[in-house]
Structure 1
Amino acid sequence: MKVKDILKILFVSLALIYCVQVKAQNAGIIPSYNYSQITEHPRLLLVKGEENALKASIQRNPEFKIVDTYIRQVADQLLSEKPLVFKKDGKRLLAVSRKALTRLYYLSYSYRISKDIKYLNRAETELNAICDFESWNPSHFLDVGEMCMAVSLAYDWLYSDLKESTKKNVRKAILEKAFAPSYVKEDAWFLERNNNWNSVCNAGLVYGALAILEDEKEQSVAIIERALKSNVLPLQAYAPDGNYPEGPGYWNYGTSFQVMLFAALESAFGSDKGLSKAPGFMASAHYMAFSSGPSGNYFNYYDCGREITSCSSMFWFANKLNDPSLIFPEIALINNGVYTRADQSDIERILPNVLIFGRDLTLSKVKLPSKQIFTGHGITPVAIVRTNWESGAGKFLGIKGGSAADGHAHMDQGTFVYDVGRLRWAMDFGMQSYITMESKGVDLWNMAQNSQRWDIFRYNNLNHNTLSINNQRHNVSGRAEIIEAFENKNELGAKLDLKSVLNFNDELKTATRKASIIDDSYLKIEDFVETNAKPVDLRWNMVTPALAQIVDKNTIKLSQQGKTMFLKFNADVPFKLVIRPSENPSQYKCEFGDYKYGDYNQQNKGTVMLGFDSKIPANKAARFTVTLVEGKPDMLLKKNTIILDAPDPNTASYGSNVFYDVSPIGVSSTGELYPIETPDWNIYGHVDVKNLFDKVFKFRIDAKRITAAGIVNTGIDRSLNGQLGVRGGESTGIDKNEGYLLSLDLRDLATSVTIELTKIGFTYLDASESCTLVNRQNPGKMMVFTGNDSKKIEEVKITSVHKRQFVDVSSLGISFKGGSDNPEFLSFFNTGDKGNFRVSGFEFIVK
């Protein structure tokens, strides 16, 4: 028998089983809705006629105009791209499903707003290509959920103008590639789980059911009724206070799809049947508002990335709760470009939700939140403090409990993070990409006490900001609870019980940790540990991105970006301060046994761990107190001098197809400079020119190569310490006929402000090499710098522990007024016969 015949028999068998299960599903049920009264197409999220309110909102809110423009620009770019193809990455098709949702949502949105047929035609091409896939990969059902949502949105929004053949193709694909496999128990295990899979997969299936209900009523009703029962499970995880067990990253994922599910049921039937009233669900918006600090980083416990992302669901919550303050942080993120950029999590695929859910809001009237602490109990208890909601201001503390046995958990019970202003001092490594471990055969999802999961450097307790005893793992059967919260004028924080997490053999009578911000001035960590019949070795650990130095037996000094922090340690038993390496895990011994960490572990460049070791005698109650107090800044630059320094370690954009980079640089209301995105440059300096306060300017670099055909694009290279090179030549440095064009966008600045480029840092440029620099707005001004031209080299002391050698380029007369855009104002190219060099930074003077 031929393979195609076997597959045909299997499909027919699956179809028969599916029909039987659908009939059983519908037998005897009392419908939750009057399905004959479903709203006409379009019925998902934005019903017919609501485009006018959305357009008015875009005109009323400049931030929404930014989002609308971005969506249409992406849609225009999609017009020339080929349709997606079926291509799995390991066991996942998820990347393709997410691209499908981005494409179909953006194209459908653009068509509904503009009625330009080019978007309709491109969406229809994509629809047919996706529906012709061999499957939507039901063995990893998230892929099905997102794909089904993608095609359903486009089908519904474009319904009146789609070809009948396309609509038939979509209905067939939804039935065969989404509905049918959702009745296969091995694939549809999500129906009985309380995590984000349930939210995402049920949402996608319900979108399919709502889209094709009038044509496939029996199957669609079965999907909806089943989802209404199944979807209760993930909603239980929000109880009682709204904190999400899997952390803010997964809140954004799971909750976004929950919100889309509720919003679609409301738009189609007028009600979500009370699902959104589940205990803690609506309160979870407050949890999410607190989840990131002024540093721009999440409290990234468990499998959560550190960098904050867009959160379109907050606009739904703000509207439903009549609390616009919830979106105060989101407005800043829109203005800073976070909403309008591609993100590793692909969260921008649901960006149109911002405009749909926020269409009744007036963003100019939004006020700051007033609460300073969020405390949530439940599965993963957390307490989060934020003393000031102004952008980049105040102090931020997050501390958590929970259990390592929970979904996506780490052995991080008792961990904390701490921000002061835009800098994070106590950090969490956060998640490592799953595929980097799965591809190496790591037993990643086994949560048992002695599983390989806990040998992962970022996952075990030894490398989190918590306590460990006797070099042993945390007890996965233990659970840390918040036993007290503190919210008064002098103290904001919480106290946790860690005893069951640390104990295996009744080693401890008591183990508690209290973390609190005192008088809006400093962080205080108090640990109380009482032993039983045997002495205990205690390890106190904290991860930091700062430079750490032991000053004396009780003090560690931290330094980063010109700021300092002092950790003061005190205890009533002896202890020894330690600094532990964390950058290259595969080189380190794991203290759980006599072996090194596996080479599958991700590097943690630019980090170090610190703390102390102590032996607590038997039957002894020991108290440990650690305070984190700000020191004096050690910035040595003069006022109004700005240094853009190579980020060491490299956090910058680079790649063979990355031809340019734009770095938005913000100026705070007090004159502090900061990167708005993940830094392509470390930014040092402070300005006192008030017309610069609360403004943004943009620095752009374009990598170029001179060829017989002219100047062409080439890839940006960055060394491990972040210094600029060029891809594609004899080396990854800047080789002969390679170089950069610089641009400076000052349109947001007042015309009274002047910014001058005064210095450039060249490294590895010896006496036989040369670089030609040209003022392209005044080509008569140029200079040739060689490695033996020492008179032009100046040493600039940036901080007390950091200095750079720069070349004085002020003779080129590169100076610009605010209000101007200055594309390609300077070129510098390697014009020597041999050798290569790199660029380490730039100096600007503000006047």
Structure 2
Amino acid sequence: MKNVELTGDRPPYLNVDSSQIREALVHSSKQPASLLGTADWKAQLQETTDRPEFSLYWQQIAETARVAMQEPLPPLTYSNFRQFAETGARKGYEDVYFERRARLAALGIQAAVAANSDEERAYLAALEDALWDVCGEYTWCLTAHLPAESDPVSEVDLFAAETAETLAELLYMYEDVLDRRIAERIRREVRQRVLEPVFIQNKPFFWRRADHNWSAVCAGGSGMAALLLMDDADELAAAIEQVCASLESFLSGYGADGGCAEGLGYWVYGFGYYTYFSEMLRERTNGGLDLLASAHPRNIAGFPERIHLSQGVYVNFSDSGEKEVLPTGLLHRLMERTGSRVVPYDAVPGLLSDPVRRWAHVLRNGLWTAGEEAQVVELSMKVEEHNSSHSNVSVFNELGWWICRAERSGANQNEHEHKHKHEHEKRPLAYGFAIKGGHNGEPHNHNDLGQFIMHGGGENILCDLGAGMYTQAYFQAGREQIINISSGGHNVPVINRVMQGSGNEYRARTIMQRTNELGLEVELDLTEAYPDAGLARYTRYAQWICPPAEDTVTIELTDRFIWSGEEKHFEERLISRFKPVIVEKGTVYWYGTRAVLQLSYDPELLEVSMYSTDHVDHDGHPFTFYTTCLAHRNAPSAELETHCRLEFEMRAGEHDLQ
């Protein structure tokens, strides 16, 4: 390889070649003490035990480790293994799999802070049992990721790569105290299951050239295991070359704007593993190879802050949640390395805050989360940057996302009539708006061209449902029938009973965008989102208006339909977790905890109705959402064009009408 492969006519993001990789590895220490990104990992973990922001972190580590000391890992039974193939259900097998990984991680971290030698020996004995058990699993892959015709032992998916990295890092941390047979088995199993299939046999795994999270996680996890366990210099150099090629493909999935089409949760996953591997490689080569040094990954690093609305709530287009758990270690290391901002947080995430209990995140939260002094500096920088009454706008031109934020006093119209106010009502009130274009062939795609979110007081009042529960059907043909994916489950219209389709050909085109101190204007041509709906043209215009001197914001949304057929009707849909209140024709209210959203529409043009849906979220937790429908009766035959204007106003408010 002359250097990491080109993508089309674009120069490579990672300007490294074979000779650079070999030279950097040869001229560096074989096993530096800082491969985990800190000079003394055990002392670093010890130091965090007295820090208040780590209270939840250590509480969950200790409780999970205590369970792991008292009972063996729960078994991965054949009954659970066969469920996915027979029913499409994933949860039964994965619940057990992730509990096993949680206990392994807890023992690996708790042993480092044992109170005395006897306690340490007890934790290490339990750790050895857990390591032995994981080494003996039938496969390290999830059942949902196993191809029909493959060797389960040597198939490498996301979780096989993660497991290889976990075992290799635990061996790196504890090899001097682990039984020799445990160490030998870890080396043998990681090599047989991951290193040989990926780097020696060069199996044609699809993820090698994927432009999404799979390439970063599979290559990064396997690459970290190689850095820790491969002793032959030529073999290791060839492996790192392969990893860099996959990471080049991963980076190509991000445009120059640094936006992640898969959503924030997959930014954490994919770019997290990109960062973890990059940092280990930098340490291993004494800074000779630094994959975070170029402009493109630095742009990607700033993604979370740019889509943060307020109070830990984010824009969650695609398969993401409104409130994603962001690993604080990752955020602080990216701040240190790239200058990106750390989104404010109250506590370091606990082991159980991550539904899949990822070792890489929880370990680096303990090792990389900066102390109080660094956090104060970061907070002062953020306050200085955002101490403005003007709108703050983030634009992702290549991704097709536009995001607006503003803070106001939070005073509602009746404030002076109340003698006592809740403490939260004294804080500034954050407003936000986001709208997207793009296309319907993106990774973890939803059919959501023209989708928008309205945010007030720390809540997405008009929302995106985000990721649904993953099953076999969620990733198969016909997935458009699932409400999280269907355009019918988004804040976009159904036109002549036609919804949006899936694929790159269903796309939005930007007609106009304009930002100023008052806000944002965007107009999208969405005709290609509905090719079979009897339209000559369909455009959506959105304007966010947020005057600095006022405590309200307004959003004007205008859909313009130019008809080409006899049918001329549509239904606007608005999705919320808050029950709408319809008090009179032409007006709808949604009441959040601190903000009220008011919709004004033309009752001569639109007829309003509402229905509720009981649903489950990505993790299987039940919730109810409400769909407000604004139905347009069939236009007169002579009418060639219909305009639908929706006017929204957001302000501080109470539940006085509910």
Q: Is this a same-fold pair by TM over 0.5?
A: yes
Q: What TM-score comes out, normalization by structure 2 length?
A: 0.77
How do residues 241-280 of structure 1 correspond to structure 2 at under 5 angstroms?
241-271=257-287, 273-277=289-293, 280=296
Give SS of 1:45's match. Answer: coil
Q: Which residue of 1 aligns with 2:36?
A: 45
- Residue of structure 2 aligned with 1:406, choices 424, 427, 442: 442
Residue 364 (structure 1) aligned with residue 365 (structure 2): no
- Residue of structure 2 aligned with 1:576, choices 606, 624, 627: 606
Deviations 1:708-739 (A, max 9, x none): xxxxxxxxxxxxxxxxxxxxxxxxxxxxxxxx
Q: Offset of 1:32 from its aligned partner?
A: 0.9
Q: Offset of 1:192 from its aligned partner?
A: 1.8
Structure with bigger gyration radius: 1
Give the residue type in structure 1 aligned to 2:546: I
Q: Offset of 1:412 from its aligned partner?
A: 1.0
- Residue of structure 1 aligned with 2:180, choices 164, 167, 173: 164
Residue 238 (structure 1) aligned with residue 254 (structure 2): yes
Distance change >3 Å, CA 538–CA 275, structure 1 → 2: farther
Between the aligned partners of 1:272 and 1:188, the Cα distance in structure 2 is: 29
Residue 80 (structure 1) aligned with residue 106 (structure 2): no
Between the aligned partners of 2:610 and 2:528, the Cα distance in structure 1 is: 26
Between the aligned partners of 1:349 and 1:95, the Cα distance in structure 2 is: 19
- Residue of structure 2 aligned with 1:118, choices 122, 129, 133: 122
Please say if residues 548 and 557 of structure 1, whose CA atoms lie closer than 8 Å, have aligned partners that are also in contact.
Answer: yes
How do residues 167-566 of structure 1 correspond to structure 2 at under 5 angstroms?
167-182=183-198, 188-214=205-231, 219-271=235-287, 273-277=289-293, 280-294=296-310, 296-312=312-328, 313-323=330-340, 326-330=341-345, 332-334=346-348, 339=350, 341-346=352-357, 350-359=361-370, 362-367=374-379, 368=382, 370=385, 372-378=392-398, 380-388=399-407, 393-435=429-471, 438=472, 442=473, 444-446=474-476, 451-475=477-501, 476=503, 477-492=505-520, 494-504=522-532, 507-519=535-547, 521-534=552-565, 536-560=568-592, 564-566=596-598
Please provide the CA RMSD for this pair.
Answer: 3.5
What runs of 5+ residues in structure 2 fail to find an aligned partner?
1-16, 142-151, 387-391, 409-423
Give the residue type in structure 1 aligned to 2:361: I
Distance change >3 Å, CA 157–CA 603, structure 1 → 2: closer
- Residue of structure 2 aligned with 1:613, choices 632, 639, 650: 632
Distance change >3 Å, CA 625–CA 56, structure 1 → 2: same
Deviations 1:520-540 (A, max 9, x none): 622313224241533532322
Distance change >3 Å, CA 82–CA 41, structure 1 → 2: farther
Give the residue type in structure 2 aligned to 1:83: L
Please say if residues 539 and 612 of structure 1, whose CA atoms lie closer than 8 Å, have aligned partners that are also in contact.
Answer: yes
Give SS of 1:128's match. Answer: helix
Between the aligned partners of 1:506 and 1:585, the Cα distance in structure 2 is: 32
Q: Offset of 1:233 from its aligned partner?
A: 0.7
Of the two structures, which has the highest relative contact order with CA contacts closer than 8 Å and spacing of 6 or more?
2
The alignment covers a number of residue pairs equal to: 576
Between the aligned partners of 2:553 and 2:184, the Cα distance in structure 1 is: 64
Q: Offset of 1:314 from its aligned partner?
A: 1.4
Distance change >3 Å, CA 404–CA 632, structure 1 → 2: closer
Q: Offset of 1:433 from its aligned partner?
A: 1.0
Q: Which residue of 1 aligns with 2:133?
A: 129
How do residues 623-634 of structure 1 correspond to structure 2 at under 5 angstroms?
623-630=643-650, 633-634=653-654
Give SS of 1:310's match. Answer: coil
Please say if residues 100 and 147 of structure 1, whose CA atoms lie closer than 8 Å, have aligned partners that are also in contact.
Answer: no
Distance change >3 Å, CA 240–CA 111, structure 1 → 2: same
Between the aligned partners of 1:549 and 1:97, the Cα distance in structure 2 is: 44
Q: Offset of 1:217 from its aligned partner?
A: 5.0
Give the residue type in structure 1 aligned to 2:406: T
Q: Offset of 1:246 from its aligned partner?
A: 0.5
Give the residue type in structure 2 aligned to 1:90: F
Give SS of 1:136's match. Answer: coil
Give SS of 1:231's match. Answer: helix
Q: Offset of 1:497 from its aligned partner?
A: 3.1
Between the aligned partners of 2:657 and 2:565, the Cα distance in structure 1 is: 46
Deviations 1:201-234 (A, max 9, x none): 11211121111122x5555443322111111111
Q: Offset of 1:171 from its aligned partner?
A: 0.9
Deviations 1:35-55 (A, max 9, x none): 343442655323543554665
Q: Offset of 1:69 from its aligned partner?
A: 5.5
Between the aligned partners of 1:162 and 1:299, the Cα distance in structure 2 is: 45
Q: Offset of 1:584 from its aligned partner?
A: 5.0
Please say if residues 567 and 628 of structure 1, whose CA atoms lie closer than 8 Å, have aligned partners that are also in contact.
Answer: yes
Deviations 1:141-163 (A, max 9, x none): 12211111111110111122222
Give the residue type in structure 1 aligned to 2:562: T
Deviations 1:159-193 (A, max 9, x none): 22222222211110011111234377887211121
- Residue of structure 2 aligned with 1:32, choices 21, 26, 33: 21
Distance change >3 Å, CA 551–CA 608, structure 1 → 2: same
Give the residue type in structure 2 aligned to 1:471: R
Q: Offset of 1:195 from its aligned partner?
A: 1.1
Please say if residues 377 and 482 of structure 1, whose CA atoms lie closer than 8 Å, have aligned partners that are also in contact.
Answer: no
Between the aligned partners of 1:63 and 1:461, the Cα distance in structure 2 is: 41
Between the aligned partners of 1:221 and 1:101, the Cα distance in structure 2 is: 30
Equivalent pairs: percent with the same residue? Answer: 17
Give SS of 1:610's match. Answer: strand
Give SS of 2:160's match. Answer: helix
Please say if residues 523 and 628 of structure 1, whose CA atoms lie closer than 8 Å, have aligned partners that are also in contact.
Answer: yes
Q: Offset of 1:70 from its aligned partner?
A: 4.6
Give the residue type in structure 2 aligned to 1:303: D
Deviations 1:15-72 (A, max 9, x none): xxxxxxxxxxxxx95461343434426553235435546655766x542465456544
Q: Offset of 1:297 from its aligned partner?
A: 3.6
Please say if residues 315 and 354 of structure 1, whose CA atoms lie closer than 8 Å, have aligned partners that are also in contact.
Answer: no
Q: Which residue of 2 aligns with 1:811?
A: none
Give SS of 1:160's match. Answer: coil
Please say if residues 499 and 510 of structure 1, whose CA atoms lie closer than 8 Å, have aligned partners that are also in contact.
Answer: yes
Residue 155 (structure 1) aligned with residue 171 (structure 2): yes
Give SS of 1:151's match. Answer: helix
Please say if residues 575 and 625 of structure 2, whose CA atoms lie closer than 8 Å, have aligned partners that are also in contact.
Answer: no
Between the aligned partners of 2:191 and 2:96, the Cα distance in structure 1 is: 20
Distance change >3 Å, CA 631–CA 297, structure 1 → 2: closer
Between the aligned partners of 1:169 and 1:84, the Cα distance in structure 2 is: 21
Structure holding more strand per residue: 1
What runs of 5+ residues in structure 1 fail to find an aligned partner?
1-27, 587-600, 636-798, 802-847
Give SS of 2:84's match. Answer: coil
Give the residue type in structure 1 aligned to 2:435: I
Please say if residues 104 and 153 of structure 1, whose CA atoms lie closer than 8 Å, have aligned partners that are also in contact.
Answer: no
Give SS of 1:509's match. Answer: strand
Give SS of 2:601's match. Answer: strand
Between the aligned partners of 1:460 and 1:423, the Cα distance in structure 2 is: 23
Please say if residues 524 and 625 of structure 1, whose CA atoms lie closer than 8 Å, have aligned partners that are also in contact.
Answer: no
Please say if residues 290 and 386 of structure 1, whose CA atoms lie closer than 8 Å, have aligned partners that are also in contact.
Answer: no
Between the aligned partners of 1:151 and 1:355, the Cα distance in structure 2 is: 18
Distance change >3 Å, CA 298–CA 345, structure 1 → 2: farther
Please say if residues 101 and 150 of structure 1, whose CA atoms lie closer than 8 Å, have aligned partners that are also in contact.
Answer: no
Please say if residues 44 and 366 of structure 2, whose CA atoms lie closer than 8 Å, have aligned partners that are also in contact.
Answer: no
